């Protein structure tokens, strides 16, 4: 599909697009349009810059009928005030020749002004969750007419701790509605939210290529536990000439802080950590210092690292093995940019072995393994997560949190299924339709060469 004409959009939308000077839809726009029009729940995996905002606005505006109704029909939730303003601006641009009323509401601004605006009536509300909830509780805003819910940048939203605010809002929405969600990265938290509240969603993504760049050398170490990984990292970082600009990825804030404690003791000012519990100023300063070479090592979570523009990274260290293989591709893509050579290291425990193999399946190559250095001490200290527990089956996906009460709408058949636990590899095999086991993979490779 090469042209907006293929969407059969209204003349009014086409004129607005012409005014914007857009010649053809972006890939995420092409993929999302018919799914959203069909009314199905949708999960879009796309980063900022892919045209994702218009990907959901186009079909929504295409369908929107003129109305004088006070209560909004479309709710778009985003994590920050800046994004509210940006999305409202995009709605305005696209609805230039349409009769659509949109309002942005967000915290940190006068609530009375927003109350008055909302009372005038709107078709589309763009909101941060906290302020939206306040407006609903004070009965200024009613959500009973919402037909479509869009949650944008949901990974950031969950990383900032908005899960319960989101769930509170879900409870106030009509059961019959379309859910649309966009996220740049797939995380366990995002996946849990989808499992709990979406009805057989169609996933649409501008797939990150599983083909790693040639100029990135990839190695992995099999390591027994968190603190042994920390010992290994300390050992490697002692070579300051080689490890001169190192980005270390961990999957959550707790691990980030825990690792920082160890590294800080050894290297002090050479190390910085960023995650969503750090203040914005601290984060900006840390990134600047890292960029300028003042700090040598930056520890970060996947979500926080999004949108960072950092050049000349010598090493990306995957301190945790990402459970979603695409995140590994995002991570290692931070090094080896602009023709430069880069190195990626992956530390995996026995528990993470399956996730590592899933990454290898995605790339269709094995990561070279380096033997664990003898001189590095193997730690017996365990993190709370690593303490043995005998009540939990091993599962890649978290179970539904029963404390949340009954769902606010009937679950789809798929979501009613009980997670049997078991092999992550099985899930990956279904997802990628690739070889199920390493044995199969080698078998396939051998066959390919024939």
Segment interacting with ligand AMP, rule: CB under 6 A, options 48-56, 63-71, 251-259, 306-314: 48-56
Segment interacting with ligand AMP, rule: CB under 6 A, options 44-52, 75-83, 129-137, 330-338: 44-52
Residue 202 pairs in a beta bridge with: 42
Give 30 or 316: the residue with its C-beta nearer to ligand AMP. Answer: 30
The dihedral sign for the CA sequence 367, 270, 156, 199 = positive
Q: How far is the CB of 252 from ligand AMP (least distance, A)?
A: 26
Give 51 or 342: the residue with its C-beta nearer to ligand AMP. Answer: 51
Q: How far is the CB of 316 from ligand AMP (least distance, A)?
A: 24
Q: Which of 7, 9, 36, 51 binds ligand AMP (CB under 6 A)?
A: 51
H/E element, 38: helix 27-38
* Residue 331, phi-psi category: left (phi > 0), alpha (psi -120 to 50), beta (remainder): alpha
Give 54 or 249: the residue with its C-beta nearer to ligand AMP. Answer: 54
Segment interacting with ligand AMP, rule: CB under 6 A, options 46-54, 124-132, 324-332, 440-448: 46-54
Q: How many CA atoms lie within 13 A of 286 on its CB side?
A: 22
User: Tokens 């609530």 map to which residue?
Assistant: 111
Segment interacting with ligand AMP, rule: CB under 6 A, options 45-53, 281-289, 306-314, 429-437: 45-53
Give 49 or 405: the residue with its C-beta nearer to ligand AMP. Answer: 49
Q: Which of 7, 31, 36, 50 binds ligand AMP (CB under 6 A)?
A: 50
Q: How far is the CB of 22 from ligand AMP (least distance, A)?
A: 4
CA distance linking residue 83 with residue 126, whole number of Å? 9
Q: How far is the CB of 157 from ligand AMP (least distance, A)?
A: 16
Quickly list DSSP for 45-103: E--TTSSHHHHHHHHHHHHPPP---SS-SEEEE-SSHHHHHHHHHHHHHHTTTS---EE
Residue 80 near ligand AMP by CB under 6 A: no
Closest CA to 235 of 358, 338, 317: 317
Residue 22 near ligand AMP by CB under 6 A: yes
Give 61 or 263: the residue with its C-beta nearer to ligand AMP. Answer: 61
Give 245 or 330: the residue with its C-beta nearer to ligand AMP. Answer: 330
Give 47 or 289: the residue with its C-beta nearer to ligand AMP. Answer: 47
Q: Which of 26, 168, 205, 224 binds ligand AMP (CB under 6 A)?
A: 26
Segment interacting with ligand AMP, rule: CB under 6 A, options 51-59, 172-180, 330-338, 426-434: 51-59
Question: By three-state DSSP, how is residue 156 classified?
Answer: helix
CA distance linking residue 3 with residue 18, whole number of Å? 12
Segment interacting with ligand AMP, rule: CB under 6 A, options 52-60, 228-236, 397-405, 437-445: 52-60
In sequence order, what are the residues at sequence separation of 6 or more whose Cβ sits closer than 8 angstroms to the Cβ of residue 156?
79, 80, 184, 303, 306
In sequence order, what are the residues at sequence separation of 6 or more whose Cβ sits closer than 8 angstroms to the Cβ of residue 37?
59, 62, 63
Identify each DSSP E strand in 128-232 by its residue range.
148-151, 178-183, 202-205, 216-222
Segment interacting with ligand AMP, rule: CB under 6 A, options 19-27, 231-239, 278-286, 421-429: 19-27
**Phi then psi dihedrals of residue 398, to 5 deg:** -70, 150
Residue 14 near ligand AMP by CB under 6 A: no
Cβ-based burial of 250 (10 A; exposed 0-12, middle 13-18, buried ≥19): buried
Quickly list DSSP for 89-112: HHHHHHTTTS---EEEE-TTS-HH
Residue 48 near ligand AMP by CB under 6 A: yes
Q: Which of 7, 9, 16, 25 binds ligand AMP (CB under 6 A)?
A: 25
Q: What part of residues 53-72 is at the interface with ligand AMP (CB under 6 A)?
A: 53-54
Alpha carbon distances (Å) from 37 to 6, 77, 138, 381: 14, 19, 33, 53
Give 126 or 359: the residue with its C-beta nearer to ligand AMP. Answer: 126
Residue 114 near ligand AMP by CB under 6 A: no
Give 22 or 432: the residue with its C-beta nearer to ligand AMP. Answer: 22
| Binding footprint of ligand AMP on the chain (CB under 6 A) | 22, 25-26, 29, 48-54
């Amino acid at each position: 599909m090469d042209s907006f004409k293929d969407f059969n959009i209204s003349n009014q939308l086409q004129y607005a697009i012409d005014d914007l000077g857009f010649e053809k839809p972006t890939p995420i726009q092409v993929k999302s349009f018919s799914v959203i029009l069909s009314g199905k729940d949708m999960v879009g995996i796309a980063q900022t810059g892919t045209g994702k905002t218009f990907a959901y606005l186009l079909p929504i505006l295409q369908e929107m009928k003129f109305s004088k109704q006070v209560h909004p029909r479309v709710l778009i939730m985003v994590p920050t005030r800046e994004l509210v303003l940006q999305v409202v601006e995009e709605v305005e641009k696209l609805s230039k020749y349409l009769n659509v009323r949109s309002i942005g509401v967000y915290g940190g601004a006068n609530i009375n002004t927003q109350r008055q605006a909302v009372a005038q009536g709107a078709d589309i509300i763009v909101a941060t969750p906290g302020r939206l909830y306040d407006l609903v509780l004070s009965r200024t805003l009613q959500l009973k007419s919402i037909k479509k819910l869009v949650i944008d940048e949901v990974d950031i939203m969950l990383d900032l701790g908005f899960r319960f605010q989101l769930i509170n809002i879900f409870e106030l929405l009509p059961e019959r509605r379309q859910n649309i969600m966009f996220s740049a990265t797939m995380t366990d938290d995002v996946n849990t939210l989808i499992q709990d509240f979406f009805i057989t969603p169609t996933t649409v993504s501008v797939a990150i290529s599983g083909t790693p760049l040639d100029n990135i050398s990839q190695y992995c170490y099999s390591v027994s536990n968190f603190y042994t990984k920390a010992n290994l990292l300390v050992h490697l970082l002692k070579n300051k000439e080689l490890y001169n600009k190192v980005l270390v990825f961990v999957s959550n804030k707790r691990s980030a802080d825990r690792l920082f404690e160890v590294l800080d003791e050894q290297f002090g000012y050479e190390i910085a950590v960023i995650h969503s519990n750090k203040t914005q100023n601290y984060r900006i300063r840390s990134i600047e210092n890292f960029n300028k070479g003042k700090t040598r090592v930056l520890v970060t979570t996947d979500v926080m690292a999004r949108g960072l523009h950092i050049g000349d990274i010598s090493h990306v260290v995957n301190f945790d093995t990402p459970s979603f293989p695409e995140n590994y591709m995002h991570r290692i893509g931070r090094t080896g940019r602009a023709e430069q050579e880069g190195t990626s290291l992956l530390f995996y425990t026995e528990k993470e072995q399956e996730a590592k193999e899933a990454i290898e399946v995605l790339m269709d190559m094995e990561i070279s393994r380096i033997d664990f250095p003898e001189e590095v001490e193997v730690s017996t200290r365990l993190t709370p997560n690593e303490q043995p527990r005998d009540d939990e089956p091993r599962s890649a996906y978290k179970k539904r949190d029963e404390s949340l009460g009954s769902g606010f709408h009937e679950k789809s058949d798929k979501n009613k299924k009980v997670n049997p636990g078991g092999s992550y590899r099985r899930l990956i095999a279904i997802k990628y339709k690739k070889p199920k086991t390493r044995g199969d993979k080698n078998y396939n490779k051998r066959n390919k060469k024939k």
